[in-house]
Amino acid sequence: MLQSRLFTKTLRESPRDEAAANARLLIRAGFIHKEMAGVYSFLPLGFRVLKKIEGIIREEMNALGANEVLLTALQDSSVWETSGRWDDQVIDVWFKTPLKSGSLLGLANTHEEAITSLMRQYVSSYRDLPFSVYQIQTKFRNELRARSGLLRGREFLMKDLYSFHLNTDDLDSFYERVAAAYAKIFSRLDIGDITYQTFASGGAFSKYSHEFQTATAAGEDLIHVCVDCRQAVNEEIKADLPACPACGGSNFRRVTAIEVGNIFKLGTRFSEAANLTVTDTEGKNHFVIMGSYGLGLSRLMGALVETHHDDHGIIWPVAAAPFSVHLLSLGDDSATVAAAGSLYQKLAAAGVTALFDDRLNVSVGAKLTDADLIGLPYRLIVSQKSGDRIEFKERASAQSSLLTVSEVVGRLVS
Amino acid sequence: MLQSRLFTKTLRESPRDEAAANARLLIRAGFIHKEMAGVYSFLPLGFRVLKKIEGIIREEMNALGANEVLLTALQDSSVWETSGRWDDQVIDVWFKTPLKSGSLLGLANTHEEAITSLMRQYVSSYRDLPFSVYQIQTKFRNELRARSGLLRGREFLMKDLYSFHLNTDDLDSFYERVAAAYAKIFSRLDIGDITYQTFASGGAFSKYSHEFQTATAAGEDLIHVCVDCRQAVNEEIKADLPACPACGGSNFRRVTAIEVGNIFKLGTRFSEAANLTVTDTEGKNHFVIMGSYGLGLSRLMGALVETHHDDHGIIWPVAAAPFSVHLLSLGDDSATVAAAGSLYQKLAAAGVTALFDDRLNVSVGAKLTDADLIGLPYRLIVSQKSGDRIEFKERASAQSSLLTVSEVVGRLVS
């Protein structure tokens, strides 16, 4: 993409009303725009990051065999009254809004009730099980305070997956497959080594649930990471668990972290409320056993910035970067402009996505500062100074090297 | 996809609470689920249709050079008060919902105010113009009545595009390019010949705006199609326009139709309200000239069904079909199952998407009825009766033919 065609510009100053690094950097670099606390629009660069994260998550969900759907934000109270969660004291972050007719609708912050109710239409026999469905959809939470940028939003993108089983063994094995899929997603996003599967309270049906916590000083949670096995325990239940429930070890590191995902064994909590049953081979009725698995897309984007930046700006992992390459034309003379344009074409032909800073009348310093702030993984500079060589530098590294055009393409394609 | 892995099932009966053909067929065939009047979830088949429509629209918007963004549903009143549209008498379909702090938020039904306000951060000079941005996003309308299925929703998917110009000439030429892009989209979706660019009232800045109206008995609008030039005039302004404003002709056909898109020259209506200005080469300030261009994705899906069905079910145009092919294995004997499975692999290898009805213990009649109802463009039957030939039939045609496997693949790939 030509940077001259991008409507956003980097801002010199950090926004004064944002404390979180993710919001400060993403706003300054033009990835997001703050509509109000906890509500952010995604501008072209930010939108591309979201789509990259979405693509990775979709691949891993499809690999589980899950069907993709799109449920609704607007929710009828009747569906939620059966589970008891329509009550504002039970879910204290409801947004509710009146229909013209006067009845009150809710804006969904999760979809267990909706998906369970819907399934009564399609599920009646053990032969219909097991299966799983997911969606990538906008959720709403009426947070009293929202001041961590993308880490705690009032409107945010989530992937939510729901699974349906005949028995707990089947749920248990699917649950482990989801945990493995999540680990793969975090690894692809380059936060695998700082994201911990964490024991958390489990509710009525299951002793524990699991959260996936990414270590960052900006996190709102405190977890205890077992030094021996890398599993962690949330502070909230640490008192009940002196030893690591995974390996029995007793050495822990205390770490602040942000919850980027969670997985729950719901059991029959929602199928009983909605009366979702199947008949077995002998015609006997059973409540369907369910699991629920969340992952925050916009929160992941915030967590990536919190864990991948320096004093100069963002340092995107390749898999989430809006473009792989920032190509800078430093010099408005015709030879430099032509050489940069030619390299831009060659990158496109090789399938390498690039943001091409083709802006004229912009100083060298401003272009370099912008590139660091925006934080694409690879920076290429074309200038008179380097002649027919290209200056190649990784954003994460201080070292640069002078390469020929074919060496540059070779490095980026391999 | 294996049909045995699809959680939805076709329903024998049409839902009693739906009058519109699009809702009746889409619900019966398992594409959508009704949450409440005007609010529908998209199930796996319906989700795939949405994605197909979205892909076509995105291609044509990107071809215009527009940047994709994602704005927010939650809206702060302050942004809308400047234009006067926060008032429930001006926009009578607002959903509003209180924040914990007590202040009222709106759920966006359009985004002129939000996008104009946002642009003050990025636009200041004539050099920043022209440009355009679009999004594909969920909109909310608090409709008193919603009874046309996907044609009039309370929650629905829209593409909205906004353009920003220095002068009206530039707006005019971009407006024509958008009209041409829309025509291309409708043509790709196989409703080009029944969708009419229609003169409608223009508001303060422009004499007329244009709607794109798809002829269908289910439509809520009445238009007058000029027999000479195919341009149409909305009933609402027909009295003011005895002659066709495009060609001067005076022969019209009255047609009921559904508005699937619209394009507006906004002029300075919103830039004045938000004080969005640019300086010209002489340092003088000008309000930015804007255009706004809508297209309903879920409504298009409804309109496709209204215009593409028969007594047996839906007849999807290839470009919007969830899969190109419905492959039916008629017979549970091992030879038939193996031959169908092998053909399914060959189709996948050739890049042809297929729904493979691999269900065992389902009658021939039920499989054929389901295939007609779901309405994929091509039906392939593997059975003992046809030996090593495949029965090939287009959904839209009554004729079938017996082809070899390589002939089948050749037809579908070409």
Query: What pLDDT band is residue A152 in, cutting at 50, 70 and 90?
Result: very high
Question: pLDDT value at position A23?
Answer: 97
Q: Each residue of A32-82: pLDDT tens digit?
A: 999 999 999 999 999 999 999 999 999 999 999 999 999 999 999 999 999
The helix (run of H) or strand (run of E) holding residue B132 is strand B131-140
Q: Are A227 and A204 in contact (CB under 8 A)?
A: no
Report chain A's mean pLDDT, rounded to a whole number.
96
The helix (run of H) or strand (run of E) holding residue B104 is strand B104-107
C-alpha–C-alpha distance, residues A34 and B117, integer Å: 11
Question: pLDDT value at position B19?
Answer: 92
First-to-final CA distance of chain B: 22
Question: pLDDT value at position A77?
Answer: 97
Q: What is the fold of A323-413?
A: Rossmann fold (3.40.50)
Q: What is the pTM of this model?
A: 0.97
Please check whether residue B353 touches A, CB under 8 A. Answer: no
Q: How far is B228 from chain A (nearest CA, A)?
A: 40
Torsion, Cα of B233, B238, B244, B246 (10° steps): -50
The beta-carbon neighbor of A9 closest among B99, B122, B133 is B122
B167: three-class secondary structure by DSSP: coil
Residues contacting B85, CB < 8 A, separation 6+: B91, B113
Q: Taking residues A304-319, what's their average pLDDT?
A: 98
C-alpha–C-alpha distance, residues B386 and B339, integer Å: 11
Q: How far is A43 from chain B (nearest CA, A)?
A: 5
pLDDT at A202 over 90: no
C-alpha–C-alpha distance, residues B137 and B159, integer Å: 7
The helix (run of H) or strand (run of E) holding residue B170 is helix B168-188
Q: Each residue of B28-58: pLDDT tens digit?
A: 999 999 999 999 999 999 999 999 999 999 9
H-assigned helices in B29-167: 44-63, 77-81, 112-119
Query: What pLDDT band is residue B306 in, cutting at 50, 70 and 90?
Result: very high
Q: Each residue of B4-25: pLDDT tens digit?
A: 999 999 999 989 999 999 999 9
Beta-strand (E) ranges in B149-251?
155-165, 195-201, 208-215, 221-226, 232-234
Query: What pLDDT band is residue B205 in, cutting at 50, 70 and 90?
Result: confident
Q: Taking residues A21-36, what's their average pLDDT?
A: 97
Q: Taking residues B226-240, what's their average pLDDT?
A: 95
Closest CA to B322 of B363, B378, B266, B388: B378
Q: Are B299 and B150 in contact (CB under 8 A)?
A: yes
Question: pLDDT value at position A233?
Answer: 97
Cis peptide before A130 (omega within 30 of 0): yes
Tokens coding A73: 């934000």
C-alpha–C-alpha distance, residues B314 and B6, integer Å: 18
Query: Higher confidence at residue A354 or residue A207?
Result: A354
pLDDT at B204 over 80: no
Amino acid at B400: S
Collect all residues of chain B within an 8 Å Cβ-Cβ radius of residue A74.
Answer: 35-36, 39, 140, 154-155
Query: What pLDDT band is residue B234 in, cutting at 50, 70 and 90?
Result: very high
pLDDT at A414 over 90: no
Question: pLDDT value at position A118?
Answer: 96
Q: Are A99 and B38 in contact (CB under 8 A)?
A: no
H-assigned helices in B76-151: 77-81, 112-119
Q: Beta strand B400-403 with A195-201: parallel, antiparallel or unpaired?
A: unpaired
Please check whether residue A126 touches B, CB under 8 A. Answer: no
Per-residue b or e along B266-289, where b marks 16 or more CB atoms closer than 10 Å to that residue's CB: bbbbbbebbebbbeeeeeeeebbb
Alpha-carbon distances of A376 from A308, A321, A339, A380, rounded to whole Å: 11, 6, 21, 10
Could you say which residues from 218 to 237 on chain A have a Cβ atom under 8 Å away from some Cβ of chain B?
A: none
The ipTM assigned to this model is 0.96
Question: pLDDT value at position A203?
Answer: 73
Please check whether residue B121 touches A, CB under 8 A. Answer: yes
Q: Are B327 and B386 in contact (CB under 8 A)?
A: no
Query: What pLDDT band is residue B414 in, cutting at 50, 70 and 90?
Result: confident
pLDDT over 70 for what percent of chain B? 100
**Domain residue extents for chain A:** 3-310, 323-413
Q: Are B337 and B329 in contact (CB under 8 A)?
A: yes
Residues contacting A52, CB < 8 A, separation 6+: A319, A320, A321, A322
C-alpha–C-alpha distance, residues A92 and A106, integer Å: 12
Enter the DSSP assignment of B17.
Answer: T
Nearest residue of A to residue B50 by CA position?
A70
Closest CA to A205 of A261, A239, A242, A165: A165
Question: pLDDT value at position B387?
Answer: 87
Q: Taking residues B393-411, what's their average pLDDT?
A: 96
Nearest residue of A to residue B134 by CA position?
A44
pLDDT at A145 over 80: yes
Question: pLDDT value at position A387?
Answer: 87
Q: Each residue of A315-348: pLDDT tens digit?
A: 999 999 999 999 999 999 999 999 999 999 999 9
Please check whether residue B36 touches A, CB under 8 A. Answer: yes
CATH class of the structural domain B3-310: alpha beta
Q: How far is A327 from chain B (nearest CA, A)?
A: 19
